[in-house]
Each structure stands twice: as structure tokens, then as C-alpha cells.
């Protein structure tokens, strides 16, 4: 058990010049006189925080795809991004503290490993929320707060800064989790999982707390959900607000690039394209989860992109809400792209398709064109969202160059491979209709009518009659053979 050494009472402590803040505002001279944590103890604790954030990142990413509830997909995407950033900050801090080799891939405590394995394998959404937001994150928050209290505020100022930033975002995560648990985990649910929650408490106690400061409680922790190794589920799932997830009845890109249509209705198609980007985090989560052994920079950058794509989806949601369009009932958001890529391609092939698409967004007829449409549409929100969407995609193209392009001799080969991989994906347009999974209903006229009502104008008959599907034209406007 670690005991922080308290400072001796300082005698005749000098006063700062005109009572200006001492020590650059880090604390008083008295605060800086406490012995605090040694480098060895500080690094030991930092490595445990690092492990916790790394495992939380793994858990949140791995559960995005198969989690049906839209708000949770979005929340997990953001929180995974937070965790990836804090892992990077902690790795950097440990590297500054006489610690080569860093040893950051070593499990710091077997009982902590059980704790996070159990949460990763939680069989229900409710258990996952309780494990992450009621057990793991509160324990991590307590550890970071104790670090701030125990360490010397002057000597260990860089570590305190890392802890402060982490605590800020943990607070946001806990607020989200508390509201999610209140909505989904009622008393009967808690009753059913009480034994498992006790197991998580026991694992933390056996580890001496997340930071290992307390005396470990003796006893062997018996695995429950993690008795068998975790198996990633790459099949995307959606909640009941996505009633027609195989619908490919409205080709947004063909409409968007048709010069005879005005910018105003094109904003609707762009909001549709943005909201449809739910499938990008679903697909990217599979790449990240199924690609082990990369430098942490890979996971950090890929998770940033995953979060950006989730942001884009929510931009579409806000865009429809701003026009008073009931998107769950009027706009048929599908998951056919993530479903096809996750079930038909290897991780590197999925990344290849992603890179190919990103490169296609860089020319003037890509993201710049969408921004120009937003600017010309007299819809300030559309213009704003496309402005940021364009900036994000420039970043994503750079991420692709950093982590995908290096696998190839040149950029041309990388793009060609991505096109080939996408061309091998069978979308089964006709088969899905034959099987009764969808009728590829053209939902566009109803959405356009609602928007015209909001705008106070009469629908344009030519726009109203639009009915091009994805049966023979891909999202990059490449013509397809059959249903592929």
C-alpha cells in the first residue's frame, strides 16, 4: 500500500511579489513541499491508467457495429476517440520519465485484465453500459483524482496536466453513461446482473483498485462472460427507427451531380448522405478491431476518423430536424455498405475501399462541390456542415496516406486496389428484394414534399419525379453489372 508523505510545516515561508501567484499558479509553496510520488510510483500508476484507457477504447470500438441503438453508436464513437487521445497522452508522458523500454503492452494486473475482459464480453447493452460507465470509468476517475492529490504539483506538473484533461472528458462520458443507464437499466435489469456487477467490484478490489494503491483483497476471481474469448460481431444492427435497412431505392449521388436540379433540394440529398454515414463507423470499427499489432498512432488516427464519420451522421440528423422532417419515418437509412464490406472483405480490403472513396472526394467535384451546393442553397446549416465535412475529409485523406498508402509501391496501385476490392463486393440489390428484405421503396417524393412545405414553395415536378436507384450505379457513379 502506498502512503503519500505529507509536507512538514514550513517556517518563515517567503511571500510572493505583491502576492502574485507562486510557482506559476500550480499551487502554494507549501503544496510544493510535500514529497509526493517518486518517478517509479508515478510511472507505475500512469501505466495502469494507460491500460484502462486502452482497454476502454478496445471495448467501445468493438461494440459499435453490432450495437443497434443509434445514440449509443454515436456515444461509443466519441468516447473511443477520447480514450485513444488519452492513451496517446499517457504514452508520451511515460516516455518522458526515464522509462525505455516503456513496457506499455504489459498487463499491469491480472485482475484488471479480467475486469475489462468481462465488460468486453458483456452479452447485453445494459450490462455493457453498467460495466463501462458505472464500474470502470468511475474507478479510473477516482484513480486520476488520487494521483492529483498525492503527487507533487510542481515536480509532477506534466502528469497532473494529463490527468486534468482526462478527468474533464471522463466527466462528460460519465454524464452520458448515467443518462443511458437511467433510460435502459431499470431495477429488474439490475437484479438480473447483480452477481456480475459484484464480480467486477471483486476484480477491482483484488487489483488494489484501478491504480493499485489499496491493499489487494485476497481471493480468486472466476470469469463469467469472459470464460470464452471475445468474438467480434461485424454484422451491423440498427434500432426500430431504421425500418428498411436494405433499401437502396434512392441514389443520392446521381441526383446531386445532375445539373438540371437546383441546390435547394440537393441539400436534402446531402443530409441523407451525411446521416447514412452511420455505416462508416460500423465498418471502420471492424478494421480497427481486426487489425492488431499496429503503432498506437494508427489506432489514434483511425479512431479520430471513425468519430468524424459519426459526427457527419449526426449533421445529417440535425439537418433533417432543422427542416422538421421526421427522418426515421420518411428517410430510409440503410446499412448495406457496412454489411457488405464487413462480411465480404478482409480488414485491409475494407481499408482499401475507404481509401479509394476518400481520394475520390478530393477533386473539385467531390467535397468542394458539396460545399458549393450548400453555399448556393440558401441553407446556412448545410453550408456550415459541408464546410466542416470537407475539412474532415482532407484530414482523412492524410490518414489514409499515413497508414494505408505505405503498404503499396505508389498511390496509383493503392487506388487501383481499392477500386478492385469495392468492385468485388456484391450488394445483392435484386436478391434482397426477392427475399422480401426490402422493396427499395422510393421515399424521396415524400421527403421533398415535406421540405417544400417547410420552405413554403410548390414542389418542382421534375425533382418530385426523381427515381434513380443504386441497382446499376454505385455511389461513385460507376456503373455496375447486374446486382453487384
pLDDT of 482 over the 50 cut: no
Across the range 221-242, mean pLDDT stands at 97
pLDDT of 85 over the 70 cut: yes
Q: What is residue 484's predicted lDDT score, i.e. its pLDDT? A: 29
Which band of pLDDT confidence, cut at 50, 70 and 90, is reported for residue 98? confident
In sequence order, the β-bridge partners of residue 479 are 473
* Every domain of the chain and the residues it spans: 33-227, 252-464
Q: What is residue 476's predicted lDDT score, i.e. its pLDDT? A: 73
Q: What is the pLDDT of residues 403-438, one digit of tens each?
A: 999 889 999 999 999 999 999 998 889 999 999 999
pLDDT of 389 over the 70 cut: yes
Q: What is residue 364's predicted lDDT score, i.e. its pLDDT? A: 67
Q: What is residue 358's predicted lDDT score, i.e. its pLDDT? A: 87
Which band of pLDDT confidence, cut at 50, 70 and 90, is reported for residue 31? very high
pLDDT of 9 over the 80 cut: no
Across the range 48-69, mean pLDDT stands at 98
Q: What is residue 166's predicted lDDT score, i.e. its pLDDT? A: 98
Q: What is the pLDDT of residues 354-376, one digit of tens each?
A: 999 888 776 667 899 999 999 99
Question: For residues 297 and 259, is the Cβ–Cβ distance under 8 A?
Answer: no
Q: What is residue 339's predicted lDDT score, i.e. its pLDDT? A: 97
pLDDT of 22 over the 80 cut: yes
pTM flag (> 0.85): yes
| Element of type H or E holding 40 | helix 39-64
Summary mean pLDDT of the chain: 94
In percent, how much of the chain has pLDDT > 90? Answer: 88
Q: What is residue 474's predicted lDDT score, i.e. its pLDDT? A: 74
Closest by CA to 142, choosing from 229, 56, 249, 45, is 45
Q: What is residue 298's predicted lDDT score, i.e. its pLDDT? A: 98
Spatial neighbors of 103 by CB under 8 A, at least 6 apart, are: 47
Across the range 14-29, mean pLDDT stands at 90
Q: What is residue 2's predicted lDDT score, i.e. its pLDDT? A: 52
CATH architecture, domain 33-227: Up-down Bundle (1.20)
Q: What is the pLDDT of residues 245-260, one digit of tens each?
A: 999 999 999 999 999 9
Q: What is the pLDDT of residues 430-457, one digit of tens each?
A: 999 999 999 999 999 999 999 999 999 9
pLDDT of 6 over the 70 cut: no
Q: What is the pLDDT of residues 287-337, one digit of tens each?
A: 999 999 999 999 999 999 999 999 999 999 999 999 999 999 999 999 999
Q: What is the pLDDT of residues 130-173, one digit of tens each?
A: 999 999 999 999 999 999 999 999 999 999 999 999 999 999 99
Amino acid at each position: 500500500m502506498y502512503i503519500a508523505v505529507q509536507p512538514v510545516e514550513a517556517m518563515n515561508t517567503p511571500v510572493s511579489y505583491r502576492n502574485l501567484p507562486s510557482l506559476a499558479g500550480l499551487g502554494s509553496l507549501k503544496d510544493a513541499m510535500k514529497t509526493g510520488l517518486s518517478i517509479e510510483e508515478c510511472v507505475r500508476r500512469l501505466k495502469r491508467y494507460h491500460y484502462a484507457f486502452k482497454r476502454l477504447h478496445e471495448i467501445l470500438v468493438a461494440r459499435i457495429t453490432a450495437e443497434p441503438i443509434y445514440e449509443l453508436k454515436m456515444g461509443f464513437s466519441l468516447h473511443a476517440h477520447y480514450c485513444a487521445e488519452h492513451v496517446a497522452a499517457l504514452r508520451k508522458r511515460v516516455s518522458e520519465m526515464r522509462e525505455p523500454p516503456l513496457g506499455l503492452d504489459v498487463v499491469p494486473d491480472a485482475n484488471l485484465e479480467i475486469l475489462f475482459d468481462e465488460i468486453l464480453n458483456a452479452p447485453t447493452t445494459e450490462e455493457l453500459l453498467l460495466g463501462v460507465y458505472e464500474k470502470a470509468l468511475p474507478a479510473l476517475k477516482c484513480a486520476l483524482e488520487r494521483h492529483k492529490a498525492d503527487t507533487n504539483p510542481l515536480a509532477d506538473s506534466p502528469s497532473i496536466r494529463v490527468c486534468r484533461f482526462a478527468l474533464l472528458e471522463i466527466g462528460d462520458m460519465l454524464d452520458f453513461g448515467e443518462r443511458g443507464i437511467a433510460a435502459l437499466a431499470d431495477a429488474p435489469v439490475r437484479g438480473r446482473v447483480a452477481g456480475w456487477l459484484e464480480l467486477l467490484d471483486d476484480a477491482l478490489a483484488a487489483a488494489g483498485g484501478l491504480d493499485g494503491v489499496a491493499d489487494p483483497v485476497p481471493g480468486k476471481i472466476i470469469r463469467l462472460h469472459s470464460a470464452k474469448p471475445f468474438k467480434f460481431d461485424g454484422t451491423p444492427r440498427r434500432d426500430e427507427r431504421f425500418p428498411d435497412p436494405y433499401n437502396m431505392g434512392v441514389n443520392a449521388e446521381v441526383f446531386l451531380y445532375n445539373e438540371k436540379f437546383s441546390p435547394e433540394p440537393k441539400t436534402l440529398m446531402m443530409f441523407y448522405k451525411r446521416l447514412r454515414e452511420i455505416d462508416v463507423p460500423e465498418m471502420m470499427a471492424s478494421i480497427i478491431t481486426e487489425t492488431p499489432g499496429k503503432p498506437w498512432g494508427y489506432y489514434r488516427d483511425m479512431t479520430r476518423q471513425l468519430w468524424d464519420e459519426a459526427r457527419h451522421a449526426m449533421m445529417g440528423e440535425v439537418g433533417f430536424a432543422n427542416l422538421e422532417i421526421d427522418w426515421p419515418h420518411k428517410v430510409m437509412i440503410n446499412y448495406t455498405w457496412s454489411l457488405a464490406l464487413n462480411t465480404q472483405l478482409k480488414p485491409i480490403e475494407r481499408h482499401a475501399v475507404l481509401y479509394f472513396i476518400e481520394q475520390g472526394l478530393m477533386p473539385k467535384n467531390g467535397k468542394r462541390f458539396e460545399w458549393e451546393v450548400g453555399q448556393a442553397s440558401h441553407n446556412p446549416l448545410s453550408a456550415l456542415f459541408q464546410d466542416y465535412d470537407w475539412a474532415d475529409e482532407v484530414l482523412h485523406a492524410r490518414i489514409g496516406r499515413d497508414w494505408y498508402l505505405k503498404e503499396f509501391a505508389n498511390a496509383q496501385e493503392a487506388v487501383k486496389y481499392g477500386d478492385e476490392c469495392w468492385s468485388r463486393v456484391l450488394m445483392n440489390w435484386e436478391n434482397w428484394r426477392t427475399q422480401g428484405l426490402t422493396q427499395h421503396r422510393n421515399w424521396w417524393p415524400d421527403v421533398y414534399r415535406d421540405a417544400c412545405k417547410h420552405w413554403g414553395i410548390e414542389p418542382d415536378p421534375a425533382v418530385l419525379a426523381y427515381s434513380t436507384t443504386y441497382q446499376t450505379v454505385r455511389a461513385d457513379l460507376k456503373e455496375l453489372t447486374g446486382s453487384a
